[in-house]
Amino acid sequence: MFSISTLNFSGLGLGLLMLLAIGFGFFWVIRLEYHLGARIWKAVLGIGLLICLLSLWMPTFGSSALLGILGGSVVWGASELPG
């Protein structure tokens, strides 16, 4: 029998947070390029990689996944800055 208590909502929650991180990523890339120019893409890439590395030391799966998603979004945004 189907029961709501047997559902695992962590994947859905992480998916929604990933959608928000990517959506916010488009916003900050445009704003950053407008105010500072595309020349800072290496610094942004380094910050994103650092966030991804920090996710390896998080104590829980959720916090590690959230930092990994955020770091991936920053790295992706940095790759859009140069061109």
Question: Residue 65 falls within a domain, yes or no?
Answer: yes
Question: Residue 18 falls within a domain, yes or no?
Answer: yes
pLDDT tens by residue, 35-50: 888 888 888 899 999 9
DSSP H helical segments within 1-83, as ranges?
10-36, 41-54, 61-80
Does 7 score more than 80 pLDDT? no
What is the rounded distance in angstroms from the CA atom of residue 8 to the CA atom of residue 58? 21
From the centroid of its chain, how far is CA 4? 29
Question: Residue 2 falls within a domain, yes or no?
Answer: no
Split into its structural domains, the chain has a count of 1
CB-facing half-sphere around the CA of 21: CA atoms within 13 A: 20
Q: What is the pTM of this model?
A: 0.81
What is the rounded distance in angstroms from the CA atom of residue 36 to the CA atom of residue 7? 45
Question: What confidence score (pLDDT) does residue 1 get?
Answer: 63
Give me the domain span that covers residue 54.
14-80
Question: Residue 75 falls within a domain, yes or no?
Answer: yes
Q: What does the pLDDT average to over 23-29?
A: 83
Q: Are 67 and 51 in contact (CB under 8 A)?
A: yes
